[in-house]
């Protein structure tokens, strides 16, 4: 199973920027090509997909709610994916989770089934 470690959360004022990082362990699945993604969950709300990318190739997908503001990318040498968040809004406040696809995953997003999760990193945007 892929191990995921997030970092980069914090507090920022509206219109500010943050970059989240997710270091993942190398595995056969990540080498062959698998989905990695970012989700978020605000208090009292369901977990929602934000962006996802494949570990091989150049296929990324960003949710409409953040399109034009958030960018997902990866660094193959560092086995890390990033979420660059610009023009942040108070409604972006949530716990952000890095995720990896899993055969027994339960949450579908961007054509992938996710089932492995990091510990989460808090993002708070104040107005």
Nearest to 61 by CA among 35, 86, 42: 35
Looking at residues 115-120, what average pLDDT do you find? 95
| pLDDT per position as a tens digit, 55-86 | 888 789 999 999 999 999 999 999 999 999 99
Burial class (CB in 10 A: 0-12, 13-18, 19+), 48: middle
| pLDDT per position as a tens digit, 13-53 | 999 999 999 999 988 887 778 899 999 999 999 999 999 99
């Amino acid at each position: 199973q892929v191990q995921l470690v997030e970092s980069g959360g914090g507090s920022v004022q509206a219109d500010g920027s943050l970059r989240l990082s997710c270091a993942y362990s190398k595995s056969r699945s990540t080498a062959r090509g698998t989905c990695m993604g970012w989700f978020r969950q605000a208090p009292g709300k369901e977990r929602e997909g934000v962006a996802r990318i494949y570990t091989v190739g150049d296929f990324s997908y960003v949710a409409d709610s953040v399109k034009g503001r958030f960018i997902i990318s990866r660094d193959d040498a560092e086995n890390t994916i990033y979420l660059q968040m610009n023009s942040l809004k108070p409604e972006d406040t949530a716990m952000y989770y890095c995720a990896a696809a899993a055969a027994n995953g339960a949450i579908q997003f961007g054509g992938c089934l996710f089932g492995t999760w990091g510990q989460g990193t808090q993002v708070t945007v104040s107005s």
